[in-house]
Each structure stands twice: as C-alpha cells, then as structure tokens.
Amino acid sequence: MDQNITFSIYQKVSELPKKWDEVSHSNAFLQIPYLQVLEHSAPTNMECFYIGIFESNELIGVALAQYLNLNKLESFGERDQCLKTYIRNFVFKNFASHVLFLGNNMITGQNGYVFSKPMNYECISEILLNCSDELIGYFRSKNIKIHIVSFKDFYKNSATELKNNAFAPIYEFNTQPNMIFELDSNWHSEADYVSAFTKKYRDQYKRARKKSEGITTRELNLEEIIEYESRIYQLYHYVAKNAPFNTFFLAENHFTTFKKQCGNRFVLIGYFMNNELIGFHSLLLNGEVLETYFLGYDEQIQKEKMLYLNMLYNMTVFGIENRFEKIIFGRTALEIKSSIGAKPIMMSGFIFHTNKLINKYIDKIFPKLEPTLAWQQRHPFK
C-alpha cells in the first residue's frame, strides 16, 4: 500500500473527521445522517465501524464495516423448515457466528466505500484487506474470534478489478441479483408507465389496483411514525422473520430514528384500511437513485388485496413522478419485481474464513449454505 495512504477506524459518529460528508457526498448511505441512524438504532446483534482513509493526512475516502454476532439472533429465517435448514443453522452457530462485513449488510448495492478522487484498485483492495486485518485484531483483543470476513456487493467491473489485485486468493461468490429498474426518461406519470405495458401486464396492473380498493395511502411525518412505531415494527417483523434467511432484525426505533436523522430524504408511506395501519413501505432518496428500504404488511390483507404488488407499483410511480433515474429494488421477490419492470443485475461478494482448513474448502462449502432460488424473469413492456 502507498506509504502516504493511511486509515483510521472510528466507533462513534461524533469522532469522524470534519470533511466526512464532503468526501461521501455521492452516497447517502455513507453520510453522517445515515451513519447516525446506524449508531442509534442498529440491529441488536450489530456493531458498526466507520473508516476514514487519508492521503498525507487529508481525508480522501470513507468506508463502513459491520460486525454481526449471529448467536444473538432469534431466528435465521423460519420459512424453510427442513434438514438442510437445520444443518445450515448448526454450521452458522458453530463456525460462522462472528461475521465481519466490509460494506453494509442491511442494504443491497455498492455502498461500502467512496473516494473523493480516482483510486486504482490495487490500492483499494489493499486498504480493504488491511482494514479487515485491523478489525480482526481488535476483536481478538476482546477475546472474540471472527470466523468469516465478507466484502459485500460489487458490480461486475469493480469485482473483476479487485480480483485482479489483492483479492485474487479470496473466494468470489454471486448470490441473488440486485433488481434495478432504469426508468424511461420519457415517462412523466403513472399513465405513461402503464401504457408501456403489454396487455398481459396492463391487465395485471388493473387487477391489482382493483383489489386494493378500500386501502388509502399517505406519507407519514415524524410524529405519525413515532405514534405508529410499535405497529410499524410488528408489520416489518412479520415479513422479516418469514424471509428465507436473516442475519439481523432491525431495532424497534429504527424507522423513527431514520426519519429524525434524514428528514425529507427518508420517506415512509403508510397503508390504511378502516383507519388501521395494515402495511408500509419506505424509501431513501439517494441523489438520482431511489433506494427501496424495508417494508411490512399484514399477511391476510396482503393476499386479499395484492398489497405487495401495489407497493411495488407505488414505489415505481414515486420514482417516475420525482424524476429519479433508477430504482434499486434489492434482492428478494425477484420474479414479481421483474413483472413491474426491474431487471436483474449480478453482483459479487468476496468471502474468506479465518480457519485456514475451512477456507481451503470455502468454494465447496459456501454454495451449500446459500439458499438457492429458481425464478423466471418477466418482460412486461411492449
């Protein structure tokens, strides 16, 4: 690593260097308001570290690391009850319960680091590895053995460049793709979007909208998010614990904290029926990109009213009306997201186990632990 390049790891947002937000201006997930959300309402099994990267003592880059203690998790996901799940859970508890992420495990996308100037990947790969070594040492000093280190979510070009440098010996994996919707700049309204569908998908849209009759939606302000906090959490938690795999659950005050810290850049839409909150979705406005965040719903009403599909349409319409270039939909429910227009973009991660013997066979072990999902991509437009 270049002698002039150094880094410092911080555990408190209040300790961050002055120019932090200047360096991280291109990514809301690395700016101080969002980092304060993590500091005040991270999942109970997560500890966050904020990394400042310096060139001759001038801040030129920032990065995020997260430690997860999976032993503190109530469930890894309850949907798939079978022997494979039992074995996977046993393996995770005993050989993979202390995990260090370089990047953000709570969202999908390349949000792990940003630099204020062009950097070559030789330097980036060395910085990331040196940061992971320092954090492994920090936990060792607290008698915690990190089992797994994962460098999370890189688009193809970045992954290839990292692999050509210091990441060469590290196992590269591809999990489910990130569903991204590049919005047509000619669309200005919901009507423009709907008219672009083929008949089959226009019919799907009409059916979903008809089913949702009786439901009203509105953006909730901070006072309302505080008022509905426990109900919002209940709806979120139902969806989260029925996911095929989990490494964390949000804190109950997470959405309230998010609104307090990020204001108008965080949007939470409530879905009401008979004056009762029966669902919500949330969004983060990240420059030209609209990032979908966590959602929740009442399962019974979800089925009856096609609530999830209606949420996807509503997020898309919000993106169109507010002139975003693209919407990041993340990596769950791939097929239904493709039916509203999102396309799969493959992303890579890198992972190693600190036990040399296990790491030697990581390419055989890892694919067996990752839940596989067969799905069919839909093509809804003319």
pLDDT in tens, 10-60: 999 999 999 999 999 999 999 999 999 999 999 989 999 999 999 999 999
pLDDT band at 79 (very low <50, low <70, confident <90, very high): very low
Phi first, then psi, for residue 25 (nearest 5°) are: -60, -25
The pLDDT score that the predictor gives to residue 76 is 47
Are 255 and 282 in contact by the 8 Å Cβ rule? The answer is yes
The pLDDT-based confidence of 368 (bands split at 50, 70, 90) is confident
Stated pTM of the model: 0.92
Stretch among 78-82, 188-192, 289-293 having the lowest mean pLDDT? 78-82
Mean pLDDT, the chain, whole residue set: 93
Please check whether residue 16 is in contact with residue 32, taking contact to mean a CB–CB distance below 8 angstroms: yes
- pLDDT of 197 reads 98
Distance CA(4)–CA(61), nearest Å, equals: 13
Question: In the predicted model, what is the mean pLDDT of residues 272-291?
Answer: 97
Residue 365 burial class via C-beta count within 10 angstroms: exposed 0-12, middle 13-18, buried 19 and up: middle
For residue 287, count other CB atoms closer than 10 A to its CB: 13
Q: Which helix (H) or strand (E) holds 269?
A: strand 266-273
104-135 tens-digit pLDDT: 999 999 999 999 999 999 999 999 999 999 99
Q: What are the helix (H) ranges across the chain?
A: 20-23, 32-41, 83-95, 121-141, 156-163, 190-195, 199-211, 222-227, 229-241, 254-262, 299-305, 307-321, 334-339, 356-360, 362-369
CA angle 218, 249, 111 (to 5 degrees): 80
Can you say how many angstroms the Cα of residue 88 is from the centroid of all Cα atoms in its chain?
A: 22
Residue 135 CB-half CA count within 13 A: 32
Angstrom distance (rounded) from CA 344 to CA 17: 37
Lowest mean pLDDT among 38-47, 72-81, 271-280, 314-323: 72-81
Q: Distance between CA 279 and CA 214 in Å, rounded? A: 13
In this prediction, residue 73 carries a pLDDT of: 75
Q: Which of 67, 57, 49 is nearest to 7 (CA)?
A: 57
Q: Can you give the pLDDT at residue 74?
A: 61
Given a cut of 70, whether residue 351 has pLDDT beyond it is yes
Strand partners, 8: 52
